[in-house]
Amino acid sequence: MVIFAVLYVNFICVHSGTIFSSIDIPLNGISPEPRTSSSLAVDSSGDKIYLFGGQSKRGFLNDLWIFSIKTSVWSLIYAQSYSPSPRSNSGGFFRKKTQEFCIFGGKSDISTFYDLWCFSLFDSGWDKIEFNDIPFSQMVKTRYLEYNETEFFIFATVDSFEIFAYIFDFNSELYEKFEINNYGRIKNNQKEIILEIQEDNKIILGNFDIKGNMNIHICYINGMNCINNTLSNSDIIDSGFIIESTLVDNNLLVFMSHGHMLNISLTSNISNISYLNSPNIPENSGVSSYKNNFYTFGGISKNTLDNTLTLYKIIPESKITYKILSKYQLFPPLRLRSALMTVRNKIYLFGGLSNFGFLNDFWVYDPSLEKWDEVFSKNDPPSPRHSFAYSSTGDIIVIWGGITEKGYSNDFFIYNVVTKSWYTLYGSSNLHPSKRFGACLVIDYPYFYIGGGVDELGFCNDLWVFDIATGVYKKTNAKIEKAYSYCYKQEKNILYMFGESQTTNATQHFTKNFYGLDNWGPIAQKFINGFLVISGSTNSGNLMNNIIYSNKGSQIAGRFSDYICNSMYTFYNHSIYYFSGSYYTSYFKVFHSLPRAKFARFDLRQIFQNANLSFDCSTGFIPYNFGCKICPVGYYSNENFCIPCKKGHFNPIPGASSSRQCYPCPEGTFNDKEGSSMCKLCLKGYYCYAGSPLPEIISAKTKEENNPKIVINEIGSPKKIEVIINHSGIILVFIIIFIFLLSPKVKKYIAGWDLYPECHNYKEDDKLYVHKNSIGGIFTAIFYISFACICINVLCKFFLENKNLEQSLMPLILFSTMIEKFSANFEIIVGVKNYADICVSPNFTITTFSKESNFSNCAPNIILNYNNLKRQKVVIKCKLENNRFCLVKISCQGCEVESSSIINLLLQGEFSYGAGITLNLTSESSIPNYYSTVYSEIFPNKNSIFLGSLPNIFTYLVIPSIYLSSIESESYIQTGYHVQELSIPVKGSEKSVEDLFLFDQLAIKIVLKKYSLGLFTEIKKERSIFSLFGVLFGIFIGLLGVVCFFMRRVESINLNRKSEKLKKSIKSVTRLRLHFDNIFKDVGLNTQHEDCEIRYSHSRYNSQDFTVMRVLENSE
C-alpha cells in the first residue's frame, strides 16, 4: 500500500501518453427522461435541437438538453443562474441574432406562466422578461421573426370564443395586438392552433371551430390587421388534432395526429388530405419546425410516456419521410450518492439524491440487452435516502444508514433479487453504531463490517461488526477515519482508501497507518492481485483524468478520456460500469451537487492486453480466451472455475457467484443430477421434501407411531428362556426319533426305557402279560423331556415372575425418603431431513465403536446447550444417512430433569436448514429391562424449509418413577422416567426455498416438563416353595397319564395297520388254495386232515398265530 500511494503521487506529476477510453451506453448518451409537452427549438444553423421542461411521471420539469444532429449525442446543460420554474406547454423558439434559446409561458400544477426566458449557451445562464398585463390563456404558439433588422416574437393563444395574437419587439420590449375577427366558438386547445410566418411580414393564424371547420387568418405586421377565411372539410374532423404546421411555397401544411397531412392552398383556398409515410405521431409530444422539416420529442405512444426524437422531412409533391434520431430509452433519473451493484448477470441501482429530492426507486440494467428497467418490489422498500453504505453478495443487496427525509439513520435492509422482496435486519442488543451517512460496508459471511462516515458530531473513525447469525453489533479496535471511503477485506484485515475527511490519511489498516495523496471520489477497484484507480478529485477540488493499475509490483499508468468524480460504479464481466457523478464544465469547474448525464463502461482489457498481465473477472464469470465467460445455469463461480450445484438443488439464472445461489428443489420436486437448472416432478407413489436428491416411497403411518410406547428389553427375560427351553426339548425329541428309525440296536436299547409295560394294547380274549417294547421306550423319553421342560419353565416363572406388582402416584417429595438423589439415563435422537450442511466432523477418526454404532463426532457447526438439567455426562454424536438425513444423538447419563428442563440444539452454517424434523425420546424405565419412548415429527409449509432464529419446539411430559423390589433375591431400588408428548410440536422460523440469502441457523428446542407426581412401583413375592412342590408333583402325575394315553393310541393305530396288511396276505393265500383244490379234488380229505394237524401244531405259538388259524377255519 505504501508503494502504491507514492507511485500514485508520482504519476500525477509525470503523465503518461497512453489514453484509455470509456464507451457511452448508449452511444448517443443518456436521453432526456420520457415526458409530454416539452418545449423544442432548432438553432439557426440547424445543427442543434434545444429541449426544455415538460411533464414526466415525476412531475413538471425544468431541465435543459441539447441534441447534436451531427453527432447524435444528447447533452444535459445546467444553467449557472436562476432557471425557469418547472412547467410544460411552453412555446419555444431560437433567437438567431443573439443565439439564444427562448421559452414563453407554460403551465404547472400550481400556476400558469406569462414570462419569457432566454438561455445563452455562451453565458450558461437564463435571462427573464415579464409579461404581467397580457390577457392570454395558457395555451400558446410562438414564432420568431427578424424583420427590418429587428427581432420580433409572435405568440398566439385562444379561449372559447376568439383567437388572440401578439407581436413583441425585443428592442423596445413592447408588444402590440393583431386585430382578428373571430366567427363561431373555438376549440380552446393548443392542439388546434396554427401559427406560421410567410414572406417576413405576413403571419398565418389558424384554428378549428367546434364544427370542425378551419378558420384561416392572414395578418400583416405593417398594419396589424388580419384577413379571415373559413374552410369546410368533413375529413378534417376525423384527422385528429394538430401536431405541427409549416409553409411550403404558398401552401400551408398541417400535420395531424392520425398520420394525415392537411394541405391548404393560401391562394386558391382549396384544401385536401394527404397521408404521411409514418406511424401515428405521439400525443402531446414536443414539436419544432425548421425550414421544410419538423421534429417531435416524447409524448404518449401506446399509453406509455415516450422520449423518442424523430425528424419528419417534407419532400416534393407534399410527401413526408421520417427518421428516428434518438431511440426510446428508459433510464433511471439522474442522481448522486446512490448505489450501483452487480448481482449475477445484472446491474442494480437504488436510491440516491436527485434534483427532485430523495429517491428510493430501484432499477436493473441488463448488459446483454443494454436495457434499463424499473424494479417494483413485492413489499415496501426502505424510505427514500442517499449516502448510505451498501454492498452485494450472492443474490442479495445490503444497504445501511444514510440520510433520509427525517435525518440520519442506522437501519439495515436487505433486498433479495430472486424474490424481489425487502427485509429489515434488527439488532438484538442495545449497542449499535450511531446514525450516520457516508459509511462503508464490507460483507464477510457471517459478518457485516460498517465503518467511517459522518454523524451529528462530525466525522466518525470507528469500525463495527454485525453478526447476522446472532443480530449483535460489536465495536472493534480498528479505525476508518473518512467518509465515502472505498473499503475492502484483505486476508483478516479491513482496509480502506480515499474518501473525505479533515485529515491526510489516505489508507488505514487495522494496525498500521499509511500516508499519501488525499483525493476523493475516484473509481477504486480491488482485484485479487492488483488495484485500479481512475480519476477523482484532488483536495483542492480539481478533477483528474489519471488512471493507474498496480499488480504485484507492475504498474500501468495513463490518461482517461473522462473526468470521473463521485460516480456510482460496479465491476461486471471485464468492465467497470459507472453512472452519473459530479457535473463539470471543465476540470477546474465542478458542481458536486449536480448529477451529470452519464452512463458508460471501461473495458479493462485495454490495460492488460498490451502489457500481457492477468486480470480478474467479476463474480459469476471465469477467465476465457483473454476475456470472461459467465457461468451457466446450474453452476456458480469459485476460484476461476464454474462449480456445479449439488444434487437436490438447482440454479435457473446464469452468473451465480456462490453456492448459496443454488436453491433447494421445492417440495414435490427432486433433482438427482449435479449442475441442474431445474428440478423434476416427484414420481407417482413417492414423496419429495424440499431439497430432495431422490424421491422417497410413501409409507403409511399408523396412529400409534406418534403415541408413547413402552419397550421391553427381552435379553434375559423369562419369556426368552421359555422359548429357548421349549425349542431345545422339541429338537431333542426329533433327534431321538430319528436315531430310533435308523438303528435296530437302538430300538432294543430304548425298549428298556419303557415305563408302561402294563399299558400296552391287547385284543379281547387274548392273554394279558407284562412286557416292554420300543414304542413304550420312545414315549418314556418324550415324558422325561416334557417334564424337564415344564419343570424348568415353572421354576423360572417361580423365581423370576413370582411377584405381585403394586403401582401408585405419589408426591415427588416422598421420593426423597426412598432415594437420596433421583436420576436416570435417557437418549434423544433428532433427525433433520435433507440437511445441506456438514453433519459429521471431517476430522473424526473411525474406530471400532464408530463402525458398530455408525455415530461419530458432530461437525463444529452443530452446537448443544441446556438449562435446568442436572447431569453426570452429556454426549452428542452424529450420523449422516442416505439422502442427507442428519441424525444427532444426545445421550444424557445420570440426568435429573427439573420442573422445566430445556435442551437447545443449534445447527449453524451457510446451509443449516432442513425439510423436516423428527425426534425420538427414549428413557430408561424404572421397571427393569423396560424403556419408555415417544416419537414426534414436524414439517414446514409447502415450498418452505426450517431456517431462522425462532426454534422448533418439542414439549414432553416426564414422569419420574421408582421401582422397589422387596424380594430377598433381588432387593433393590431403580429409578427412571416415563415420557409422553405433552403438546403438538410448534414450528419455528420458516423460509421459502428462494429466500436462503443469509447466514442463519436451524434451532431446535426440546422442553422436558417434570410431572408434579411420581409413579411408585413395588414388587413382592406372591407364592411359597411348598406350592412349587405341589405343582411339580401334580404335573408329574398328570403328564404321565397323558403320555400313556397317546402311547396307547399310537399302538392301536399301529396294530390296525398290521392287521389290515395280514388280511391282504391271507386272502392271497386263500385264493391259491382254492386253485389247488380244483386240481386235486380226489385228495380233499387228506387236505382237511393236514389242516387239522397244522392247526394243532400252531397252537403252541402266540395269539397272533392263533388268530391266523381261526381265520383259515372260517375261510374253509
Residue 73 has pLDDT above 50, yes or no: yes
The verdict on residue 215 lying in a domain is no
Mean pLDDT lowest among 89-98, 278-287, 961-970, 1048-1057: 961-970
The verdict on residue 943 lying in a domain is yes
Which of the given ranges, 199-203, 658-662, 852-856, has the highest pLDDT on average? 658-662
Residues 828 and 911 in one domain: yes
User: What pLDDT was estimated at residue 396?
Assistant: 92
- Calculated CA dihedral for residues 1071, 1072, 1078, 1083, nearest 10 degrees: -120
Residues 571 and 635 in one domain: no
Residues 642 and 750 in one domain: no
The verdict on residue 1114 lying in a domain is no
Which of the given ranges, 251-260, 467-476, 967-976, has the highest pLDDT on average? 467-476
CATH code for position 627: 2.10.50.10
Residues 772 and 820 in one domain: no
User: What pLDDT was estimated at residue 1087?
Assistant: 45
The verdict on residue 161 lying in a domain is no
What is the mean predicted confidence (pLDDT) over 300-315? 88
User: What pLDDT was estimated at residue 508?
Assistant: 35
What is the mean predicted confidence (pLDDT) over 199-221? 79
Cis status, amide bond into 26, omega within 30 of 0: yes
- The overall average pLDDT reported for the chain is 81
Predicted TM-score (pTM) of the model is 0.75
Could you tell me which of 482, 479, 466, 332 has the C-alpha nearest to residue 391? 466
Give the list of residues 6+ apart from residue 532 with CB closer than 8 angstroms, or none: 523, 524, 525, 547, 548, 549, 576, 604, 607
User: What pLDDT was estimated at residue 515?
Assistant: 31
DSSP SS3 for 942: coil
Considering only the C-alpha atoms of the chain, give the largest distance between any 2 of them, rounded to a whole number of Å.
188
Residues 798 and 811 in one domain: no
Residue 190 — pLDDT band, cuts 50, 70, 90?
A: very low
Number of domains in the chain: 4
What is the mean predicted confidence (pLDDT) over 32-53? 93
User: 520 phi and psi, to 5 degrees?
Assistant: -145, 165
The verdict on residue 937 lying in a domain is yes
The verdict on residue 315 lying in a domain is no
Residues 848 and 930 in one domain: yes
| Residues 597, 28 contacting (CB under 8 angstroms) | no
Residues 830 and 792 in one domain: no
What is the mean predicted confidence (pLDDT) over 818-830? 87
What is the mean predicted confidence (pLDDT) over 382-391? 96
Residue 713 has pLDDT above 50, yes or no: no
Domain end marker among 607, 631, 649 = 607
**Amino acid code (one letter) for 55:** Q
User: What pLDDT was estimated at residue 507?
Assistant: 36
Residue 802 — pLDDT band, cuts 50, 70, 90?
A: low
Residue 764 — pLDDT band, cuts 50, 70, 90?
A: low
Domain end marker among 987, 1021, 1055 = 1021
The verdict on residue 287 lying in a domain is no
What is the mean predicted confidence (pLDDT) over 396-420? 94
Residues 878 and 932 in one domain: yes
Residue 1093 — pLDDT band, cuts 50, 70, 90?
A: very low
Residue 362 has pLDDT above 70, yes or no: yes
Which of the given ranges, 539-553, 821-835, 961-975, has the highest pLDDT on average? 821-835
User: What pLDDT was estimated at residue 1111?
Assistant: 40
pLDDT tens-digit series, residues 222-247: 778 888 777 765 445 455 677 777 77
Residue 7 has pLDDT above 50, yes or no: no
Residues 945 and 851 in one domain: yes
Residue 178 has pLDDT above 60, yes or no: yes
User: What pLDDT was estimated at residue 48?
Assistant: 94
Alpha helices in 603-668 (DSSP H): 605-611
Domain end marker among 548, 575, 607 = 607
As given in the structure block, the three cell numbers for residue 152 are 420580433
Residue 207 — pLDDT band, cuts 50, 70, 90?
A: confident
Residue 850 has pLDDT above 70, yes or no: no
DSSP SS3 for 380: coil
Residue 1099 — pLDDT band, cuts 50, 70, 90?
A: very low
As given in the structure block, the three cell numbers for residue 857 are 463426532
What is the mean predicted confidence (pLDDT) over 883-901? 90
| Residues 961, 1015 contacting (CB under 8 angstroms) | yes
User: What pLDDT was estimated at residue 416?
Assistant: 92
Residues 911 and 828 in one domain: yes
User: What pLDDT was estimated at residue 1101?
Assistant: 38
Of 298 and 1047, the structure prediction assigns the larger pLDDT to 298
Residue 715 has pLDDT above 60, yes or no: no
User: What pLDDT was estimated at residue 274?
Assistant: 57
- Domain extent, residue 785, equals 718-802+1026-1063
As given in the structure block, the three cell numbers for residue 337 are 450518492
The verdict on residue 796 lying in a domain is yes
pLDDT tens-digit series, residues 428-474: 888 999 999 999 999 988 899 999 999 999 999 999 999 887 889 99
User: What pLDDT was estimated at residue 962?
Assistant: 86
Residues 959 and 835 in one domain: yes
Residues 829 and 866 in one domain: yes
